[in-house]
Chain A
Amino acid sequence: MNPVAMTGLSVALPGVDRPRGLLEPVAPDAAPVDPAALIGKKGLRYKDRATRIGLHLAFAALTDAGLLDDGRLRAPGDRIGVVVSSNLGNADTVCRAVETIAKETTSGLSPMDTPNASSNIIASETAIRFGLRGPNLTVCNGAGSGLDAVRWAGLMVRSGRVDHMVVVGVEPDNPVTRRLVGGPVADGGAALVLSRSGETSPARPAKALLAAGTRTAQSGTAPRRPAGTTPGTALRLTDEPDHVPPGEPSLDLTGWGELSGALGVVQCVAAAAWFAAGGAGTAHAVAGGAGVTLLAPGHAS
């Protein structure tokens, strides 16, 4: 099987604006992510917070992969698709609407909120903004959602539906989402581009390779160290420390609040950053019942 390559990365979390920042300690009291600073204010009016951050992340990851240049698409739009993972994205729009209806009847609603009532708003806005006419999927699958999104994107690349998939994981922080998860939400996320193996080049190098994906009944069933590998060469990405074998390097990626549907995508971007910083071998990401294994670029396939 020709592995699918990660060719573009982006991250937007308070205090982190590049993948390498995920390997460093979380800065206290960092400023919130400001999408308009990267992609401008134009077109962001009436968009909800999750959509704004999602557009920012997609822009940065597509640019990193060389698919966007100065905002212009450099590859056929019908061969690029979008997968978004977000559990909480439009929860505030939905809850505000039902509250308004009870108080003021539907005459109190804003027509501009209509698209935001649909849970696929982030993915479809991403397609519209960048002209991405391939498959457009929104995954809302709980704790494993981000890794599931990477798995489905990989599947659609391998099956030949697309040459590239941009995968965005994003969650917004607001009173509704806070109350729903019982604490602060990360208010940001990460994105990556998966490309067909034939689509990498010196100008678009692989930053990691996507290997197997799994799903199990047990939350956090970390894959065992593959036979014949040296201890200490496989990175574990999990917020469940019980599942890190003793002596293995690990990243829990906590500290920004609940990452929810963004977690798996942040984990994969962190793995690529780990490889870029000289980390060798393999990375295993686990979230919810989902698991994804990533290989350093240049790893024999």
Chain B
Amino acid sequence: MTYPITGAGAVASIGGDLDEVFRSLCEGRSGLAPLRAFDRAQFNAQQLFEIDDRPAEGLDEPGRATRFLLEAVRQAAADAGLPEDLAGIPVLVGTGLRELRSLELWWRDGVPFGADELHFENALRSRFGAVDTHTFAGACSASLYALALAWDLLEQGEAETVIVAGCDVVTESMFGQADRVQFDPPSSVRPFDTERQGTILGEGAAAVVLGRVPAEGRRPRGWLRSVAVNCDAHHQTAPDAAGVRAAVRQAQERAAVTPEEIDLVLLHATGTPLNDRTEATVTAEVFAEARPALTGVKSLTGHTSGSAGLLSLIVALRSLETGVVPPIAGLTDPLPEGAGLNLVSGGPLTGPLRTAQVNSFGFGGVNAVAIVAGAA
């Protein structure tokens, strides 16, 4: 089974829509900047990949994750030619940190906030009239997990069209906990490089419209061929090669593709020593003689948490469409486990591409892997 992706939308620190994000990735423009709203005196690390949308420098405001979500959904719905009113369409949102940033501002600064604003139901209803809305808090693979559920809804005949989204802003608690254990904060994110020193959080939202059949007279963005989801059941913060390998193999089996048929892999590639080593090892093992192009976006977008998987998927679709693969910015000396892998670095790679794999792994060992194909 395969389902058309009929629309896509994205916002990140490097662009306000899909075109701008993709252009920034190809041109190597980074969203990394000094902290925009957190009190710099309280943190060792001084940089994040924030979206620059706050009304005044140094002042934070609640509801930003919701704002980015609504914008990504609006873009995707418009791209798919859906009406403004989404009443009959389920909207599935994967997020690492929900509106926990607003919760923080409520607790610390007394900003008005209620328990019903932790999730996105009310916002999606008042903006789009959507009533079948769902917020999944699944760490960094949340949006691809939501995509798996959308797949099941279509396959079980419970929906004709589903919107899947991911969104996250940086919370002080998550940034602070990372800061507590990162004594020497990385100056940049360098996925799959020997010199990588860790990840830096980012902000973003992404959305796709998934249908049972393509809209009449409209060419889909691409095709979703499978999504596999599982859990390492191993460790809270460290990835486990066995779980990652099982998710990758399952995604390929469900899509009925061989490693040789995959032309491109969008890596999770966070720039942490352990994730990249594990992912490189599993990738080398699963693909063996096959040599797909490998890339990742986080050196320029930061780790956008729950929205990361879907953002990667949309970039993959754009690469399949254009035949252009953006490089892994900052990668100069590949890690030893990645020797022999076709890591794209230096500049964009061009060539015909048909099928891509998208990796997304999260805290708690929650793994999601999707296979997509180009529209042609």
Q: Which A residues lie at the B interface, using CB under 8 A? A: 77-78, 81-82, 87-88, 91, 93-95, 97-102, 105-107, 109-111, 113-115, 117-121, 123-125, 127-128, 130-143, 145, 148, 152, 155-156, 158-159, 161, 176, 180-181, 215-217, 260, 289
Contact = CB atoms under 8 A, between A and B. Distances in A.
Nearest to A118: B363
Given A78-B230, A133-B233, A140-B137, A87 B118 contact: yes
A119 B134 contact: no
B246 A115 contact: no
B115 A88 contact: yes
B131 interface: yes
Contacts of A118: 96, 139, 174, 363-364
Given A93-B173, A118-B174, 12 more contacts: A81-B231, A101-B42, A115-B363, A118-B364, A120-B362, A124-B366, A137-B149, A140-B136, A140-B137, A141-B121, A161-B148, A215-B131
A131 B136 CA distance: 22
Contacts of A114: 177-178, 180-181, 237
9 contacts: A95-B108, A98-B172, A106-B43, A106-B176, A128-B234, A140-B98, A140-B137, A142-B116, A161-B148
A51 to B, nearest CB: 10
Contacts of A145: 119
B115 A181 contact: yes
B237 A120 contact: no
A152 B149 contact: yes
Contact of B246 (A82, A120, A127, A133): A133
B180 A106 contact: yes
B132 A215 contact: yes
B306 to A, nearest CB: 9
Contacts of A138: 136-138
Contacts of A82: 231
Nearest to B177: A114
Interface residues of B, number: 66
B39 interface: yes
Given A105-B42, A180-B115, A155 B149 contact: yes
Contacts of B152: 155-156, 158-159, 161
B152 to A, nearest CB: 4
B364 A121 contact: yes
Tell me whether chain A's interface is mostly helix, strand or loop, or mixed: helix
B17 interface: no
B104 A128 contact: no
A119 B119 CA distance: 12
Given A133-B230, A135-B229, A115 B173 contact: no
Interface in B176-233: 176-181, 229-233
B149 A94 contact: no
Interface in B82-123: 87, 90, 96-98, 100, 103-104, 107-108, 114-116, 118-119, 121
Nearest to B44: A106
Contact of B145 (A111, A135, A141, A155): A135
Contacts of A134: 230-231
B103 A91 contact: yes
A97 B118 contact: no
Given A94-B171, A135-B145, A141 B119 contact: yes
B135 A139 contact: yes
B146 to A, nearest CB: 9
Contacts of A105: 41-43
Nearest to B157: A1
A88 B355 CA distance: 40
Contact of B131 (A101, A117, A158, A216): A216
A284 B155 CA distance: 26
A120 B230 contact: no
A4 B58 CA distance: 52
B89 to A, nearest CB: 12
B158 interface: yes
Which of A77, A125, A141: most chain B Cβ within 10 A?
Answer: A141
Interface string B218-262: 000000000001111111110000010010000000000000000
B26 interface: no
B105 to A, nearest CB: 8
A107 B127 CA distance: 41
A115 B231 contact: no
Interface in B319-376: 362-366
B290 interface: no
Contacts of A217: 87, 125, 131
A139 B234 CA distance: 21
Contacts of A140: 98, 118-119, 135-137
Contacts of B78: none
Nearest to A100: B176
